[in-house]
């Protein structure tokens, strides 16, 4: 795979026609199905990642988004060498993960929101020291780096605690530090803020942003938290059913897809969503038979709808209009595709 510069910097992640297929065994439901499966099985091939292409330059922070089952985690596992692609090519800082997984391991840091890389029964500081030995980090460099992380991630109070006794927020902060002790040029983050309280989420986000800006670490971020993306990412790659549906800047995405407006309206008497559908409007959500969110086109105003409601004898108790934000747009895109909300 040829390598090309981005603004004078080489791509550090390159993916070409990346495909991953799994064979899934199927059986009929119920007791009879269980018996039949003892003697014969039916298998189907499922495509988790389907001919995906993208390239990420040094220092980029990219949001890799999609609904559950879109193929995000599968992609990351192939980039890190955990899974072998069915076909296609991958380069991580110029290295094929399948040909030299050990070399790739030194180039990357990985944080999975639901898993830890720390030793469960050891104090956090001892886990860090073990990682120092694994990556052969000089002690002085290690201590300077650790002190830097302790300050940024507010870890001083729990360094001596066993990993299993940490709260979720404490463990996530420790995992972030552990993934970066060896100064990798690339960081993969899979749901780094899932389940965190507001204060810890803020600490984690600020840390990710600062480490990206200060050290020019390339970050690929998967998350269901739209605020993570709005605060951190400069570019979006949107995946659905294993295929890339958008690859570009956040601002361009909003300009392209979020020109329409959302009208929030409360009416009396109750009329139901079908009433608005009958008038030719798309109801995005209905909190009750009196409260609705309605989609308006970029050039539409609420004037016509207000006139129609007045003619029908329906009073408007409350009405607000806003432009669709990033979260609204993503929800609409995915719900239109397969009734799945991001």
User: In the chain, pLDDT over 70 holds for what percent of residues?
Assistant: 87
Residues 6+ apart with CB under 8 A from 153: 173, 174, 176, 177, 203, 204, 207
Q: How much is the pLDDT for 253?
A: 82
pLDDT tops 60 at residue 157: yes
* 232-247: average pLDDT: 90
User: In the chain, pLDDT over 90 holds for what percent of residues?
Assistant: 45
Quick: pLDDT tens for 84-101: 999 999 999 999 998 898
Q: How much is the pLDDT for 8?
A: 41
CATH number of 5-255: 3.40.50.300
Domain chopping of the chain, boundaries = 5-255, 259-323
- pLDDT, the chain, mean: 85
With beta carbons less than 8 A apart as the criterion, state whether 46 and 21 touch. yes
- The residue count for the chain: 342
Task: Examine domains 5-255 and 259-323 and report if their fold is the same.
Answer: no
Q: How much is the pLDDT for 118?
A: 92
The torsion of the CA quartet 63, 65, 68, 69, rounded to 10 degrees, works out to -110
The CATH architecture assigned to 259-323 reads: 2-Layer Sandwich (3.30)
With beta carbons less than 8 A apart as the criterion, state whether 104 and 95 touch. yes
* 200-216: average pLDDT: 93
Residues 6+ apart with CB under 8 A from 2: none
């Amino acid at each position: 795979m040829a390598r090309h510069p981005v603004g004078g910097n080489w791509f550090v992640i390159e993916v070409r026609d990346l495909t991953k297929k799994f064979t899934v065994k199927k059986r009929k439901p119920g007791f009879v199905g269980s018996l039949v499966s003892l003697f014969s099985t039916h298998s189907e091939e499922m495509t988790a990642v389907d001919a995906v292409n993208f390239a990420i330059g040094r220092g980029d922070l990219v949001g890799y988004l999609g609904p559950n089952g879109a193929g995000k985690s599968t992609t990351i596992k192939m980039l890190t060498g955990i899974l072998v692609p069915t076909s296609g090519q991958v380069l991580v800082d110029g290295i094929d993960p399948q040909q030299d997984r050990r070399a790739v391991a030194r180039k990357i840091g990985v944080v999975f929101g639901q898993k830890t890389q720390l030793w469960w029964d050891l104090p956090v500081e001892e886990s860090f020291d073990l990682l120092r030995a694994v990556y052969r980090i000089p002690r002085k460099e290690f201590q300077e780096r650790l002190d830097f992380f302790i300050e940024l991630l507010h870890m001083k109070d729990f360094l001596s605690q066993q990993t299993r006794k940490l709260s979720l927020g404490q463990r996530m902060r420790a995992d972030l530090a552990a993934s970066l002790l060896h100064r990798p040029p690339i960081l993969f983050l899979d749901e780094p803020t899932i389940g965190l309280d507001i204060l810890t989420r803020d600490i984690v986000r600020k840390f990710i942003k600062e480490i990206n800006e200060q050290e020019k670490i390339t970050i690929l971020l998967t998350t269901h938290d739209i605020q993570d993306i709005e605060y951190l990412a400069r570019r979006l790659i949107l995946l659905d059913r294993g295929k890339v549906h958008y690859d570009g800047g956040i601002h361009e995405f909003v300009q392209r897809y979020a020109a329409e407006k959302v009208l929030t309206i409360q009416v009396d008497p109750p009329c139901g969503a079908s009433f608005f559908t009958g008038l030719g409007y798309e109801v995005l959500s209905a909190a009750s038979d009196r409260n609705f969110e309605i989609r308006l086109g970029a050039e539409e105003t609420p004037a016509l709808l207000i006139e129609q409601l007045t003619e029908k004898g329906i009073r408007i108790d409350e009405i607000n209009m806003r432009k669709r934000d990033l979260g609204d747009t993503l929800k609409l895109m995915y719900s239109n595709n397969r009734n799945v909300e991001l």
